[in-house]
Structure 1
Amino acid sequence: MSKPIYSFDANTGWLNGAIHIPSPNFNARPNNEVSLLVIHNISLPPGQFATGMIDALFTNQLPINAHPYFKQLEGLRVSAHFLIERSGEIKQFVSCNDRAWHAGKSSFQGRENCNDFSIGVELEGTDDLAYTDEQYKSLNNLKNILQKNFPLIKQERICGHSDIAPERKTDPGIAFDWLRIQ
């Protein structure tokens, strides 16, 4: 299987070459500023990969009765702009021009509501399991494309969910190697 070639459409906010799975869980940004990249992790059920359940969660189609863990997610409306699977495949759920619902109650350098000015990237994984080489390659590729198109996203404005919601979140976790983000 050949690796996709990615390009960004600034007019639409969609990454060409990514798999597009539009989520209904977004709204307009209060302004056009995008100046923060937030890295998360997710697996559904926890610790299980390639189940398709992340796509289902972000599109409000999670089969609540399919796993006991899913009961606590019933009615939850969340999304991220991007998901990078263990294989390195990139999926996009929300245009970068819109506000995805990934950060929740959050603050970066004293500014509240990080969803307003950030792009959220989920890595399929857990806090304590190593991410794959393919994920780091795709993340760096995506990061470079985003920084080219959103020049306010400087290296010091790339953070983890744990950095903007430290009392609530721990992701991307201790297994994430920040030195591999170049």
Structure 2
Amino acid sequence: MLKWLLLFVGAALFYFWLKGKKQAKFDRQKSNNSSSNQAQTLAEPAAMVQCQYCKVHLPQPDAISNDGRFYCSKDHLSLLDEQGWIGAAAWRISPNKDARPDEVKPDLVVIHHISLPPSEFKRQASSQHIVNFFQNTLDPNVHPYFSQIANQKVSSHFFITRTGELIQFVSTRDRAWHAGVSNFMGRERCNDFSIGVELEGDSDTPFEGIQYQSLAKLIQKLGLAYPNLQFAGHSDIAPDRKTDPGKYFDWEKFQKETGISQEKIPYGLVSR
């Protein structure tokens, strides 16, 4: 009996010795692998990206990302770049554009309003329909009104939603198709020398405060690149055809929030 007991105890001791030895080996391997992985991680450089504004290269973890693009600083994110795009905007490129006449730079901002379907923004989010319209992807079967306009080829440089989101469709260096037959203080073909800004809304509804704030920030950025800008509504330059931005667009509020001089609003501050 004693013999079997001693044999059992010996086997147990051998088992625990062998298990401990395997565990120690496993721990050493794990430690070595961890050190190796850490060294490999430290040795591998971070992916490099390019600032959309200044084209400097920097490690991706150090960059500011927006809408799939990278910027080296908040300042560069917010500015209008040399290609005529604002980094802080969502870019939804429209095919409805062409070149401005030679040597022509924009010196007019035309303010519009738009809603698709008409006034639908009062009931539900509908700004994506406007994006689709400017990108020629509007489905005419979604709403009866869409079948009337789906084949039109129009665009604007910028669009500000009811929530204040800024979307850009066309570079400011290019001509967007927003004004149509128009005349600004004796100058025809306003698309040639203007920047179009659409506000989501209609002629029967006040615009949101956040839309004015987004518009003021946009005007500030545009003014740095184009210091001679003047401002008008679509109804000012096409009075026989258009009524936007309408009586609920507050020109006094616009002038106050942007800080531009009244002389740059030649049609006056009275809402119309």
In the superposition, the TM-score normalised over structure 2's length comes to 0.63
Q: Does 1:55 align with 2:55?
A: no
Distance 1:92 1:179 in 2: 25
Distance 1:127 1:106 in 2: 20
Give the secondary structure class of the aligned counterpart of 1:64.
coil
Which residue of the partner structure matches residue 18 of structure 1?
89
Q: Does 1:126 align with 2:199?
A: no
Amino acid in the other structure paired with 2:244: D
How far is the alpha carbon of 1:6 from its aligned partner? 2.0
Q: Does 1:176 align with 2:252?
A: no
Give the secondary structure class of the aligned counterpart of 2:145.
helix
Give the secondary structure class of the aligned counterpart of 1:12.
coil
In the superposition, the TM-score normalised over structure 1's length comes to 0.93
Give the secondary structure class of the aligned counterpart of 1:14.
coil
**Two-structure CA RMSD over aligned residues (Å):** 1.1
> 71, 92, 109: which one pairs with 1:37?
109
Q: Does 1:144 align with 2:220?
A: yes
Which is higher, the Rg of structure 1 or of structure 2?
Answer: 2
Distance 1:76 1:12 in 2: 27
Amino acid in the other structure paired with 2:249: F
Structure 2 spans left out of the alignment, 5+ residues:
1-73, 259-272
Distance 1:7 1:35 in 2: 18
Structure 1 spans left out of the alignment, 5+ residues:
none
Higher helix proportion = 2
Q: Higher relative contact order at CA 8 Å, sep ≥6: structure 1 or structure 2?
A: 1
Identity of aligned residues (%): 52
Deviations 1:68-95 (A, max 9, x none): 1112103100000000000100000000
Which residue of the partner structure matches residue 48 of structure 2?
none
Which residue of the partner structure matches residue 158 of structure 1?
231
Higher strand proportion = 1
Distance 2:111 2:196 in 1: 6
Aligned residues: 175
**Would you identify which runs of 4 or more consecutive aligned residues in structure 1 move more than 4 Å?**
none
